[in-house]
Amino acid sequence: MPFIRLVVCSLALLTVAKLALAHDGPDPLARWRFDSESLVANSDESVSLRARRGPDGAVIGKHQIRGKKYDETLYLPGGQNAVVLAKNHNELKKYLPTEHMTVSMVVSIDQPQQWGGLVGVVQDDGEDESGWIVGYNDEVFTFALRGTEGTGRLTYLAGKTKYEQGKLYHVVATYDGKLMQLFVNGKLDAESKEQAGPIFYPTKSPFVLGGYVDSNEFNGHKGRMREIVLYDLAAKPNWVAHDFEHNANLTSLPAEEVQEPLSFVMKPYLQFGTQTTMTVMWRTNRPGAGTLFYGETDECPHKIKLVDAKEIHEIKIEGLEPETQYFYRTETKLKPGDEPLSSEVATFQTAVKRDTPFAFAVISDTQGNPKVSGTVGDFAWAQRPSFLLHAGDLVSTGKNESHWTEHFFPSMNPLMRHVPTFPVLGNHEQDAKFYYDYFSLPEPEYYYQFRFGNSDFFMIDTNRNVDPESEQYKWLEKALSESDATWKFVCHHHPPYSSDENDYGNLWKTNKSTRGDLDARQLVPLYEKYDVDIVWNGHIHSYERTWPIRDNKAVVDGAPVYMITGGGGGNLETPGPVRPFFMNTVRRGHHYVMVRINGTRLEFQAYDIENRLFDEMVISKKPADD
């Protein structure tokens, strides 16, 4: 019997011993050490990560090497910065575990985020969930995986150990075909038996270190990475504890705050311009004291200085002259005497007087497609609008900070640094705090009014109540009734009228459809009663212009026209198979529109992603004294 016990014990430890020797032997599928020796600058100025074993990677974006030799770590600053091993993981199949896996790493988290990623191949998009990823959320480390015989979805393990920002942790995730386990600093933190069978991989997803990346997400890791090792074996708890002992000296170190060089997170842009004021905003990666320089020449002789150190800077210039061109630039300092972070000189014009012609651009649903939103924004800027009207869904996920800092603001900055933007909330903003932080609007911000030239604009949030007893309805009726403007425009995200194929009833399966958002349609009586000229909407990712509509019938003139301008970047949608009574023009394609006003004449033109004109309209009113 003693001999039998010895044999059984030896067999039980075999897998452990094999893994324990894996640091020096051929057992790992891949191993990456994030130090200066492993990072190689290429002739094209790109940087590669050379693997100790397995595939090399491309370092995307900014990075720093931290620490002394033998203790070096790679610091990634978040955003769209990561190490991409392959844009399509199928290129690296031999380096990916199939039936069993262990991944071990030493990392720190400097910025919590809802969907943080450290290493993995994952797709998490609605019903399409597959692959695996080790990462973190706002408080703890996580491990997600889908097996071929599991629930048909990813199982997300969330640990119990709350991480301290800036502190190094030893994190291990294992899967043996039946059991998922997550270990933090050598101890079991979470486990699940929901998944079974070989790992179910997505058909096409990148293999990434230092990021949560799939077909529609790119959440770069902000923090340090020392080492990641990947095996096609499932480690036992005693091996994990042994591996932790080798890294305990690192995890016992105090948290380290990495001081990044001062830089722009969002370059200066304009907000809520009037005839005598303009607000300038920008965001830096570290709190600093901001100064705004402005004037009627590019020397910008006047300045406004903020004493308090902030990341989000907001400065309002007052006492300006109407319809006048000004120049401005910004400086930010961490402390007095430092070299400032300076912006380039840009221009703006204050709002025009009542009788002066002007023009503005309308764009909507820029969400998650900076290439398209940047293109239509640049085309709009080339036409020199006085401002931008945005009908909502600025980003894909309002609570995801990177969607603001990496998608919307960088792509739209060439336009927004020259003209103010007046937005409304879409459903994708999720009423997130970022919207209120990044835009300077009159209280309560989710609805407001502004005057430009001879026109009044009424901005509404149709994600909230708009029924006749609601706060917004009552405010809007009062504001419309008091307006003496020549032109009255309303902007909200959801369209009262739409010919879309399936948002309001699947018109390829039934002829039943509400043909628009019924909640938003509760506002239509106000538009007809108070002579609103045009209502701009988004939500549907296409273009549509109605005939003038009164009493739910198309008329020739003298009634509101409804326009969907949802072609700023979102995935395109298609109209239903038949023409409803209200449709004048419909078009599938990315686009922007321009509106030009001269007294009682309005000219409207719509342009596609190639900047080609595809629709136009003219409205002429009789002068008020006729």
Neighbours of 5 (CB within 10 A): 9
State the DSSP string of 530-578: TT--EEEE-SSSSEEEEPPEETTEE-SSSS-EEEEE--SSSPP--B-SS
Whether pLDDT at 239 is above 80: yes
Q: Give the model's confidence band at 88: pLDDT under 50 very low, under 70 low, under 90 confident, else very high.
A: confident
Q: Give the model's confidence band at 164: pLDDT under 50 very low, under 70 low, under 90 confident, else very high.
A: very high
3-class SS of residue 591 = strand
Q: Give the model's confidence band at 150: pLDDT under 50 very low, under 70 low, under 90 confident, else very high.
A: confident
pLDDT in tens, 401-431: 888 998 999 999 999 999 999 999 999 999 9
Copy the structure tokens of residue 254.
């105090």
Question: How high is the pLDDT of residue 70?
Answer: 78
Copy the structure tokens of residue 109.
């988290």
Whether pLDDT at 24 is above 50: no
Whether pLDDT at 12 is above 60: no
Mean pLDDT of all residues in the chain?
92
Question: How high is the pLDDT of residue 625?
Answer: 57
Q: What is the topology classification, in CATH, of domain 19-251?
A: Jelly Rolls (2.60.120)
Q: Give the CA count within 13 Å in the CB-facing half-sphere of 195.
A: 31
By the 10 Å C-beta count (0-12 exposed, 13-18 middle, 19+ buried), 551 is classed as exposed
Question: How high is the pLDDT of residue 624?
Answer: 62
Question: How high is the pLDDT of residue 504?
Answer: 93
pLDDT in tens, 330-382: 999 998 889 999 999 999 999 999 999 999 999 999 998 999 999 999 999 99
Residue with tokens 């909330």: 425
HEC assignment per residue over 434-498:
HHHHHCCCCCCCCCEEEEECCEEEEECCCCCCCCCCCHHHHHHHHHHHHCCCCEEEEECCCCCCC
Whether pLDDT at 35 is above 60: yes
Residue 594 phi, psi (nearest 5): -120, 140
By the 10 Å C-beta count (0-12 exposed, 13-18 middle, 19+ buried), 603 is classed as middle
Measured distance CA(32)–CA(376) in Å, rounded: 41
pLDDT in tens, 97-128: 999 999 999 999 999 998 999 999 999 977 78
HEC assignment per residue over 305-371:
ECCCCEEEEEEEECCCCCCCEEEEEEEEECCCCCCCEECCCEEEECCCCCCCCEEEEEECCCCCCHH
Kindly give the residue spans of alpha helices, DSSP state H, lying in 23-154: none
Neighbours of 60 (CB within 10 A): 21
Region class of 199: left (phi > 0), else alpha (psi between -120 and 50), else beta: beta
Question: How high is the pLDDT of residue 215?
Answer: 81
Residue 273 phi, psi (nearest 5): -80, 140
Query: Which CATH number applies to 261-351?
Result: 2.60.40.10
Residue 193 phi, psi (nearest 5): -110, 20
State the DSSP string of 231-246: ESS---HHHHHHHHHH
Measured distance CA(230)–CA(119) in Å, rounded: 10
Whether pLDDT at 10 is above 70: no
By the 10 Å C-beta count (0-12 exposed, 13-18 middle, 19+ buried), 613 is classed as exposed
Whether pLDDT at 19 is above 60: no
**Domain 361-620, what architecture?**
4-Layer Sandwich (3.60)
β-partners of residue 142 are: 135, 158
β-partners of residue 624 are: none
Q: Give the model's confidence band at 25: pLDDT under 50 very low, under 70 low, under 90 confident, else very high.
A: very low
pLDDT in tens, 56-77: 999 998 898 988 877 899 999 9
3-class SS of residue 105 = strand
Read off the pTM.
Answer: 0.78
The letter for the amino acid at 65 is I
Q: Give the model's confidence band at 23: pLDDT under 50 very low, under 70 low, under 90 confident, else very high.
A: very low
Measured distance CA(528)–CA(449) in Å, rounded: 19
Sheet of 128-136: strand order equals: 39-41, 47-49, 57-60, 82-86, 207-209, 116-125, 128-136, 140-145, 155-162
Neighbours of 277 (CB within 10 A): 14
Copy the structure tokens of residue 37.
């020796």
Using only C-alpha atoms, the chain has a radius of gyration, in whole angstroms, of 28
**What is the four-CA torsion angle of 387, 392, 395, 397, rounded to 10 degrees?**
150
Question: Where is average pLDDT lowest: 107-111, 256-260, 382-386?
Answer: 256-260
Copy the structure tokens of residue 99.
């039936």
Question: How high is the pLDDT of residue 256?
Answer: 87
Angle of helix 370-382 versus helix 409-416 axis, rounded to 10: 0
CA distance to 49, 210, 223, 332, per residue, from 78 (Å): 17, 9, 8, 21
Q: What stretch of H or E contains 84?
A: strand 82-86
Q: Where are the domains of the chain?
A: 19-251, 261-351, 361-620
**Which whole number is the average pLDDT over 213-234?**
92
Report the percentage of the chain scoring pLDDT > 70: 95
Question: How high is the pLDDT of residue 266?
Answer: 96
**Which whole number is the average pLDDT over 542-555?**
97
**Which whole number is the average pLDDT over 214-240?**
92
Question: How high is the pLDDT of residue 114?
Answer: 87
